Amino acid sequence: MTQQTILTGLRANNDLTIGNYFGAILPMIDMVKKRSDEFQINMFIPDLHSFTTPIDHGTLYEQILHNARLFAAAGLPLDNDNIYLYRQSYIPAHSEMTWILDCFTGFGEMSRMTQFKDKSGSVGADRTSVGLFNYPVLMAADILLYNANYVPVGDDQSQHLEFTRDIAERMNAKFGDIFTVPEAVAKQHEFFGKDQGLRIKDLVTPTKKMSKSDESGKGVIFLGDDPEAAAKKIMSATTDDLAEIHFDREKQPGVSNLLEILALLRGTSLDGVVGEFEGQTRYGDFKKVVADEMRQFLTDFQARLTSIDDAAILAKLQASEQKLAVTANATLLRAQQAVGLRPGDA
């Protein structure tokens, strides 16, 4: 029996934060390692998605490779033959399938996409790219080309996954059995677990999420930050004037954020960390513990990142791309035959 496929990817155009690492990369790698015995794992680098909004194109190629290095440094086993790591643009079927799907997609469907409305609203119609408008169709192609059953999605991507199911069912109804329809959002959450992990907050404004788009950078710790500088950011983190440590996201968001960060850095339970520091009154001593852990984490991670063999990364990418292009091209051919671009089977 053919293994079912899990497909996942993570856009990384610039340095990622510790929030991205603990909230997205690490859970992704853990899931991959646990599931790779039972499922084929497709991990792709969405380089075509990378410039739906403006970027520095001069650094894009290096950022693509850096994305792959991050996966490896986080523990992705490059020697596992059931895990595929590939670049979206190196398999041209992604682009051609997108055009075919475009022609069976309604303008109204795309106009109703929440992410498009959110992102385009701040810049205006004239400065919004057609690529941003069309993003969900390319995402559908990414999924459907590989007959993927499971795709871990957060709330911001749920609408796009439902569109993927809609367009697949629409074309299957019109032309016959072309696409494998991925499981619905509810089934995805049941399969992967709904919990999206802890969302690390900004160190200066702990009521908002830590974001790599923060212009000041004072409340954000990047994976590429100097470990000493990162430790100083922890020591300068906003706390409160209550002078006693308790885990309370509403009344003590800064202290609670540092407790969550410490649990993630140590790889231990939040309850255990809270129990260790609950009721203590010396914020400075507590911050120093967190700062020391952060310094050590970044030192170790950056050492692993530096030691990654680029030749091994490229070999993994190229082998995966060669293998998966066969699957993608077979799905594309079915679609081309269905719409009349290629002769049907004799």
Task: Report the DSSP pairing between strands 83-87 and 5-9.
Answer: unpaired
Q: Give the other-Cβ count within 10 Å of 137's Cβ.
A: 24
Convert 9-39 to b/e letters by CB count within 10 Å (16 or more is b): bbebbeebbbbbbbbbbbbbbebbeebbeeb
| CA–CA separation, 324 and 88 (whole Å) | 11
| CA–CA separation, 296 and 305 (whole Å) | 14
- 83 forms bridges with which residues in the sheet? 41
- Strand order from edge to edge, sheet including 5-9: 5-9, 40-45, 83-87
From 33, 208, 212, 287, the catalytic residue: 212
From 209, 218, 232, 288, the catalytic residue: 209
Structure tokens given for 319? 């082998």
Which of 2, 69, 114, 119 lies closest to 302 in space, CA to CA? 69
From 33, 34, 117, 119, the catalytic residue: 119
Instruction: Name the residue type at position 113.
Output: M
H/E element holding 43?
A: strand 40-45
Our answer to whether residue 212 is catalytic in this structure is: yes
Which whole-number Å values give the CA distances from 150 to 191, 214, 264, in the listed order?
Answer: 8, 33, 27
CA angle 337, 340, 343 (to 5 degrees): 55
Phi, psi of 330 (to 5 degrees): -65, -40
What is the per-residue DSSP string for 121-136? Answer: HTT-GGGS-HHHHHHH
DSSP tag of 267: T
Our answer to whether residue 209 is catalytic in this structure is: yes
Catalytic residue numbers read: 119, 209, 212
